[in-house]
Structure 1
Amino acid sequence: MIREQATDKRTLKTIRHDADLIVVGGGLSGVCCAITAARAGIRVVLVQDRPVLGGNASSEVRLWVLGATSHMGNNNRWAREGGVIDELLLENWYRNPEGNPLIFDTILLEKVIGESNITLLLNTAVYEVEKSTPDTISELKAFCSQNSTLYELVAPLFCDASGDGIVGFQAGAAFRMGAESEEEFGEKFAPSAEYGELLGHSMYFYTKDTGRPVRFVPPSYALDDITKIPRYRRFNTQEYGCQLWWIEYGGRLDTVHDTEKIKWELWKVVYGVWNYIKNSGQFPEAETLTLEWVGHIPGKRESRRFEGDYILRQQDVVEQREHVDAVAFGGWSIDLHPADGVFSEKPGCNQWHSKGIYQIPYRSLYSRNINNLFLAGRLISASHVAFGSSRVMGTSAYVAQAVGMAAALCTRDGLKPRDLVDRPERQYVASLQKELLKIGQYIPGLRLHDDQDLAQQAHLSASSEFVLSSLPPDGPLVTLAQPSAQMLPIPAGPVPHLKAYVTADQDTTLTVELRRSSKPGNHTPDVTLQTLTIPVRKGKQEVDLPFNATLDHAGYVFVCFLKNEHIRLQYSQLRATGIVSVFNKSNPAVSNYGKQEPTDDIGVETFEFWCPERRPKGHNIALQIEPGIRLFAAENVRNGFQRPTNQPNAWVAAPTDPNPTLTMSWADRKQISRVELFFDSDFDHPLESVIMVHPETASPFCVQEYVLCNDRNERIFHQTENHQSRNVIRFEQPLDTSSLTIHLKAMNGNAPAALLEVRVYA
């Protein structure tokens, strides 16, 4: 029994945590920052004011995670974010293809508590910032309502990933809220006062079919006049959760301090919408439906944006400007919403895409006036317009990984965030980029050069090599109802001779264009090299495609078959790493209507969308290719790229190889302590975390089972059930060998065995 005498006053239990980095905010950004930093060897305290991790991706809000892949609705090929966010989404794909948000919660918690260098504080809100000097944070004070405990959090470095910027705000960091004028940065898409300067919050609901009639009596505060919502006719019984992202409100209010007011208005809307669906008589199919879940906290889009040494702007996104300190990339559209949200007469969003992904500089990831404060997530240094792209969770988490690695470098050398760019003679930025590339953080235009990698010194040999001489005509026969294209990687020089397979229901003409992108690294087919107009007779036939173009540099070409509903195009069952078909089709979910055509001068470009289809569709177009394309050699595993870019960047074994094997051998014996392998997890697949059901649990291009052997052909490691991009194998005792052989035993699907990268360390 505990018994205390009456007293005048008591103080709460207080616990002090000392660390190298304090990360405030347990959304995906804070999670990915903390894990990246912890794995880089520093001590991290992760502070989250909610009972679960994930922020807008958690079961409390239930928004799907998206980034540069944009629902496969843009021209950003192989653009899913790498590193920790990739690991999380792949694990969710494997365990949770149905998109249950509760399961995603468990994955995030498991990954965080599995890191010995992370101290996790849930239900803990930071409420005070202490400073040792006007520009230096010394300590944070936080309170957990669940255990009635105060925390003193002390570290030399802090990261604000809280969304609203609770640390930066109290520390006096410079910030902005609202939209810049067009004149400040020359951004032609800067919104008018009528459109509004802030994006609002959203709240979602889930429904359930009970199999029997269910009535609904609305709460008294439910919106009683559904026609107050101009788009009320869009509501239906099939859409739920974040498919109703446009139930948005609050852009005319203070999106920090008015959040509770905004929440109540969103509750009114949600229950009013459900009352309309259940009781208006317009939806008889809703008779057996009930509300299964309604959000209790709104998903926030925009509030404070803090100022770094560089403010990302519209031109960085659209023009894909290069930065010497690039550490991440974005690729979501510039996606602005009317401030009146669900009550606006305007469309729910205004999305404008770039022709490819764009670099995000490190200078946007720390405060310009608080010298030990990193910025991560949606509050990084960006204009309102650029924020429209950089704010989405996949991009925010990716940026946060760069912060986590930067914090590790600062800790190692006793530096402040700005020091990494202020001391060019020490090449800190290059070191940061290198460490990020090593963990799978693709940075556009950068190639990994790692002098410590023993694979760079090895002699490579492979059991076979894929030569793309044929995409055999053994797949479906599909009417050419939409323009369809096969992307092919071609080395510099003449384009190979191609042959396609078609069936026509009458004599007609087939038009085929050979296109490529105007910018290396992009996958927007905006340059037409040659057009063929080919007479086709009724019936089944092979069609020669005698292109005579010559490429001045290696890259992907698009063999574009233009629409003709009298023709059926033969497809292939063969799928392989770095080979994909794309289609000039629409995806209204991301404002893709086949072609982007701004009617006003708003600083964005006109171009067509050519996008893949999701499996099980998306077969490659059957082609004969002479001479065959030889870009799948073993040498690719050490070329410094871990995903297809302007080339496949993979060793791919011949489809007929019964035992795909890659061997690295050295002239002298090596002491090997670690091997890192990167597999093809299909970076085209967006891996939405909720709502969308995935037909698979792993990429068909990903190796499921592999074996490592030493120079005596002894098995030293065996992996089964692999579904991850990055595999790190550590040996308790260094492996003494003159060779290392990798046997790729089984795939996760029907595709030739592929390996993107091998690195070996002593």
Structure 2
Amino acid sequence: MIKSEFSSARDNKLMALNTDLVVIGGGLSGVCVAITAARENLKVVLIQDRPVLGGNASSEIRLWALGATSHMGNNNRWSREGGLINEILLDNLQRNKEGNPLIFDTILLEKIYEEKNITLLLNTAVYETIKIDDRKIKSVKAFCSQNSTTYNVAAPYFCDASGDGIVAFQSGASFRMGAETSDEFDEGFAPNIEDYGNLLGHSLYLYTKDLGKPVSYTAPSFAITNAEDLPRIKNYQLGDHGCKLWWVEYGGRLDTVHESEDIKLELWKVVYGIWDYVKNSGKYPEAENLTLEWVGTIPGKRESRRFEGDYILSQKDIVEQRDHYDAVAFGGWAMDLHPADGIYSKHNSCTQWHGKGVYSIPYRCYYSKDLDNLFLAGRIISASHVAFGSSRVMLTCAHGAQAVGKAAAICLEQNLSPRDLSQKENIEKLQLALNRDGQSIPRLDITDREDLAQLSHISASSTLVFNGFTPGEEWYTLKFGIAQLLPLNLNENYSFEFEVEAETDTTLEIQLKSSALCSHFTPDVVVDGKTFNLKKGKQKITFNTTEAQNIQHYSYCCILKNEKVKVRLSDERITGLMTVQNKVNKAVSNFGRQDPPKDIAVDSFEFWTPERRPGGKNLALTLNKPLPIFEVNNLLNGKVRPESNGNTNAWVAEIEDKTPQVRLKWEKPVTVKTVKLYFDCDFDHALETTLMGHPEDTIPFVVDEYKIKDGSGTILKEVKGNFQAINTLTLDSAISTDVLTFEFSKNDRNIPVSIFKISVFE
């Protein structure tokens, strides 16, 4: 029993914590900072003001996490974010391919709880920041409403991933809120502020359920009664729920920090009013059996403060794909701005303009220029309003957050400030550490001098020499143009044989396309072409090129649209080779091509985008000369995905080889402690975390079973049931050997074994 007499005042329970890194905010960015740092042996305190992790991706809000793949609706081939966030996405796929947001919550919690170096404080809000001097933070104070405890958390480094930047704001860091004029960064896409507005608003979603019997609905008195007059009600389609209702948006004319509760109330009025309209207007009789299963209690917030680093990302970085000496992450979502009036706006729900390819994000965007120990992560990083329209999406944020976690570890080890690490003589260590974890920084070549595999002679039991795809039973009707991506040799001509079927006499045009630059996958150059006269029925045609591309790049063998013609497909799928279609994806403003206004400094081009499995099959074609594009030496070039310069970066075994092997041989024995293998997890497939389901729970290119043996044939490691892209295998004790043999098992008769990289460390 506890009995306490009257006291004039009492203090909350106070708990003081000292750690290496404090991360404020438990969205995907904060989670990735914390886990990355913890795996580098930093002690981390992760403070999250909600009961679950994930932020906008959590079950409280239920927005799917997206990034550079943009729902597979742009020209960014093999662009899904790598490293830790990819590990999380593959975990979610394996256990939650249906996209249940509650299960995604548990995956994030599990990831955090498995890290012994992380102290997680849920339901805990930071309310005060304490500084040592003007440029350095000492500690933060936070209160947990569930255990009535006040925490004072001190550390040498802090990372603000809180969305609104509570610690960065309280510490006095320079920030921006709203849109810049077009003059400041020479941004043609900067919005007309009076008309379009300053800020992107909040969104709040609903879920419905079919009960199989009529369900009545009476709206609360606060619900709007004029849903029919909402300019965007035309977007609603019966059955849409969850984040497909992203256009239910409001608040861009308000203070999205301090008026957030007012914005939420208005969104509640709108959501319940929309559902009243659906159920009771008589215009949706099919909704008779539907009930309202869930409505969000906190809105998903798009934009508030953006804090200034030593570099501010802007429109030209995205459109021109500028490379930076300190690149640590990449983005590829469209520059995606929304009218400030949201659901009440006369404008379209959003305006999206895509770049031709992915762009790199410099490390200088990830720390405050004013504080000596404050990192930034998530949507608050240093960017203009226009660039923020792209960099704000969750997977891009999480990808950059991994760089922050790794940077904090290097800073602590070497007693550096975040700015110190940005110096050219220091940044390569961060970039190397990130690339070892599969970060895939675009257009960055770094040699890993500690990787013993680089010193070995490498050989394989077989290597696929590609000269075409075996015909299957399926045919593709040319409702859209279709193209086979192939890394052809520079300055060479080729012959491509296809089998087609015409329902009547007609013509068919085939083009060989390439890209003007090696930095993107947009087929914006026509190299050669020919028009064929087809007779009704099946026939084979051969496209003989007379012009060759003069830039090292993937080529696109394009069969243009003709709905009267079918082309035969293959069931074979091979790493680094794929088809794309000149089709429409309205969800990301892809209408086959984009033609922006000339004065906004955005490119016009066609979209050639992939089809999701089980679609997306390759063309059954035959080449007149083989392509040596899968050599085993690719395993030593340091890259872990195909690149636009025409490199598949993969070793691929012959398709008939059921137990292929790779052998590393050294001139004299080396000491081996850790081995890393990088498998093909299909970086072109968007792994949306919720709502949308996926056709399989494991990416079919990933090798699920293999053995590693030393020179005497002793099995060092045996792996079964693998579904991850990166396998890091640490031996119980270091061994000395002059040979490592990797024996792989083939698990699909139409997919040969493939690997991107093998690394070996002492």
Residue 63 of structure 2: SS of its match in structure 1? coil
Residue 724 of structure 1: SS of its match in structure 2? coil
> 2-side partners of 1:29 and 1:133: how far apart?
28
Give yes or no for contact 2:655–2:749 (8 Å, CA) kept in 1.
no
Please, what is the CA RMSD of the aligned residues? 1.2
> 2-side partners of 1:458 and 1:473: how far apart?
39
Which stretch of the first structure deviates more once superposed, 446-455 or 328-337?
Answer: 446-455
Give yes or no for contact 1:671–1:736 (8 Å, CA) kept in 2.
yes
Residue 41 to residue 549, structure 1, CA distance change in 2 (3 Å)? farther
Residue-by-residue CA offset, 1:131-153 (whole Å, 9 max, x unaligned): 11111111101111111111111
Matched, 1:310 2:311: yes
Residue-by-residue CA offset, 1:207-254 (whole Å, 9 max, x unaligned): 111111111111111111113311213323210000000000000000
Residue-by-residue CA offset, 1:706-750 (whole Å, 9 max, x unaligned): 111121222221111111111100111113322111111143784
Please report the TM-score for the alignment, with normalisation by the length of structure 2: 0.98
The answer for the alignment partner of 2:640 in structure 1 is 642
What is the Cα deviation at residue 521 of structure 1? Answer: 3.3
Match for 1:557 among 543, 555, 558?
Answer: 555
> 2-side partners of 1:334 and 1:521: how far apart?
18
Give yes or no for contact 1:673–1:734 (8 Å, CA) kept in 2.
yes
Give yes or no for contact 2:232–2:349 (8 Å, CA) kept in 1.
no
Residue-by-residue CA offset, 1:431-458 (whole Å, 9 max, x unaligned): 1111110100011101241111111011
Give yes or no for contact 2:746–2:752 (8 Å, CA) kept in 1.
no
> 2-side partners of 1:75 and 1:226: how far apart?
37
What is the Cα deviation at residue 15 of structure 1? Answer: 1.1
Residue 663 of structure 2: SS of its match in structure 1? strand
> 2-side partners of 1:501 and 1:601: how far apart?
45
Paired letter, 2:426: Y
Please report the TM-score for the alignment, with normalisation by the length of structure 1: 0.98
The answer for the alignment partner of 1:103 in structure 2 is 103
The answer for the alignment partner of 2:251 in structure 1 is 250
The answer for the alignment partner of 1:533 in structure 2 is 531
The answer for the alignment partner of 1:589 in structure 2 is 587
Which stretch of the first structure deviates more once superposed, 427-436 or 334-343?
Answer: 427-436
Residue 128 to residue 248, structure 1, CA distance change in 2 (3 Å)? same
Which stretch of the first structure deviates more once superposed, 706-715 or 370-379?
Answer: 706-715
The answer for the alignment partner of 2:489 in structure 1 is 491
> 2-side partners of 1:561 and 1:550: how far apart?
17
What is the Cα deviation at residue 386 of structure 1? Answer: 0.4
Residue 486 to residue 61, structure 1, CA distance change in 2 (3 Å)? same
Residue 87 of structure 1: SS of its match in structure 2? helix
The answer for the alignment partner of 1:346 in structure 2 is 347
Paired letter, 2:115: E
Matches within 5 A, 1:261-276: 261-276=262-277
Residue 460 of structure 1: SS of its match in structure 2? strand
Residue 475 to residue 416, structure 1, CA distance change in 2 (3 Å)? farther
Matches within 5 A, 1:41-80: 41-80=41-80
Residue-by-residue CA offset, 1:490-534 (whole Å, 9 max, x unaligned): 233414322111112233222111011111131100011111122
Give yes or no for contact 1:659–1:743 (8 Å, CA) kept in 2.
yes
Which stretch of the first structure deviates more once superposed, 594-603 or 152-161?
Answer: 594-603
> 2-side partners of 1:328 and 1:475: how far apart?
42
Which stretch of the first structure deviates more once superposed, 101-110 or 502-511?
Answer: 502-511
What is the Cα deviation at residue 665 of structure 1? Answer: 1.4
What is the Cα deviation at residue 550 of structure 1? Answer: 3.1
Which stretch of the first structure deviates more once superposed, 14-23 or 504-513?
Answer: 504-513
Residue 169 of structure 1: SS of its match in structure 2? helix
Residue-by-residue CA offset, 1:55-74 (whole Å, 9 max, x unaligned): 00000000000000000000
Residue 431 of structure 1: SS of its match in structure 2? helix
Matched, 1:414 2:415: yes
Residue 666 of structure 1: SS of its match in structure 2? strand
Paired letter, 1:472: T
Which stretch of the first structure deviates more once superposed, 561-570 or 488-497?
Answer: 488-497
Matches within 5 A, 1:548-627: 548-627=546-625
Paired letter, 1:592: N
What is the Cα deviation at residue 23 of structure 1? Answer: 0.6
Give yes or no for contact 1:213–1:287 (8 Å, CA) kept in 2.
yes
Give yes or no for contact 2:514–2:549 (8 Å, CA) kept in 1.
no
Residue 599 of structure 2: SS of its match in structure 1? coil
The answer for the alignment partner of 2:227 in structure 1 is 226
Residue 703 of structure 1: SS of its match in structure 2? coil
> 1-side partners of 2:261 and 2:747: how far apart?
50
> 1-side partners of 2:60 and 2:751: how far apart?
38
What is the Cα deviation at residue 473 of structure 1? Answer: 1.6
The answer for the alignment partner of 1:333 in structure 2 is 334
Paired letter, 1:401: Q
Which stretch of the first structure deviates more once superposed, 702-711 or 739-748?
Answer: 739-748
> 1-side partners of 2:597 and 2:170: how far apart?
43
> 1-side partners of 2:634 and 2:615: how far apart?
28
Runs of 4+ in 1 over 6 A off after TM superposition: none
The answer for the alignment partner of 1:698 in structure 2 is 698
Residue 185 to residue 521, structure 1, CA distance change in 2 (3 Å)? closer
Residue-by-residue CA offset, 1:381-402 (whole Å, 9 max, x unaligned): 0000000000000101111111
The answer for the alignment partner of 1:9 in structure 2 is 9
Residue-by-residue CA offset, 1:415-474 (whole Å, 9 max, x unaligned): 11000124x3xx211111111101000111012411111110111111111111121121
Give yes or no for contact 1:131–1:171 (8 Å, CA) kept in 2.
yes
> 2-side partners of 1:700 and 1:3: how far apart?
63
Paired letter, 2:584: S
Q: Percent identity?
A: 53
The answer for the alignment partner of 2:88 in structure 1 is 88
> 1-side partners of 2:247 and 2:721: how far apart?
39
Give yes or no for contact 1:483–1:561 (8 Å, CA) kept in 2.
yes
Match for 2:459 among 453, 458, 461?
Answer: 461
Give yes or no for contact 1:469–1:629 (8 Å, CA) kept in 2.
yes
Paired letter, 1:745: S
What is the Cα deviation at residue 623 of structure 1? Answer: 0.7
The answer for the alignment partner of 1:190 in structure 2 is 190
Which stretch of the first structure deviates more once superposed, 246-255 or 562-571?
Answer: 562-571
What is the Cα deviation at residue 540 of structure 1? Answer: 1.5
Residue 643 of structure 1: SS of its match in structure 2? coil
Residue-by-residue CA offset, 1:613-658 (whole Å, 9 max, x unaligned): 0000111111101211111011111111001113211111110002
Residue 475 to residue 167, structure 1, CA distance change in 2 (3 Å)? farther
Residue 275 of structure 2: SS of its match in structure 1? helix
Give yes or no for contact 1:460–1:635 (8 Å, CA) kept in 2.
yes
Paired letter, 2:556: F
> 2-side partners of 1:536 and 1:209: how far apart?
50
> 1-side partners of 2:136 and 2:332: how far apart?
34
> 2-side partners of 1:170 and 1:319: how far apart?
35
Give yes or no for contact 1:496–1:628 (8 Å, CA) kept in 2.
no
Matches within 5 A, 1:324-403: 324-403=325-404
Paired letter, 1:194: D
Residue-by-residue CA offset, 1:234-288 (whole Å, 9 max, x unaligned): 3232100000000000000000000000000000011001111111111111111
> 1-side partners of 2:563 and 2:8: how far apart?
86
Which stretch of the first structure deviates more once superposed, 448-457 or 165-174?
Answer: 448-457
Residue 267 to residue 76, structure 1, CA distance change in 2 (3 Å)? same
The answer for the alignment partner of 1:202 in structure 2 is 203
> 2-side partners of 1:549 and 1:668: how far apart?
49
Residue 360 of structure 1: SS of its match in structure 2? strand
The answer for the alignment partner of 1:279 in structure 2 is 280
What is the Cα deviation at residue 7 of structure 1? Answer: 2.1
> 1-side partners of 2:55 and 2:563: how far apart?
47
Paired letter, 1:398: H
Residue 667 of structure 2: SS of its match in structure 1? strand
Matches within 5 A, 1:654-693: 654-693=654-693
Give yes or no for contact 1:76–1:331 (8 Å, CA) kept in 2.
yes
Residue 704 of structure 1: SS of its match in structure 2? coil
Residue 301 of structure 2: SS of its match in structure 1? coil
The answer for the alignment partner of 1:288 in structure 2 is 289
Give yes or no for contact 2:527–2:549 (8 Å, CA) kept in 1.
no
The answer for the alignment partner of 2:742 in structure 1 is 742
> 2-side partners of 1:429 and 1:244: how far apart?
41
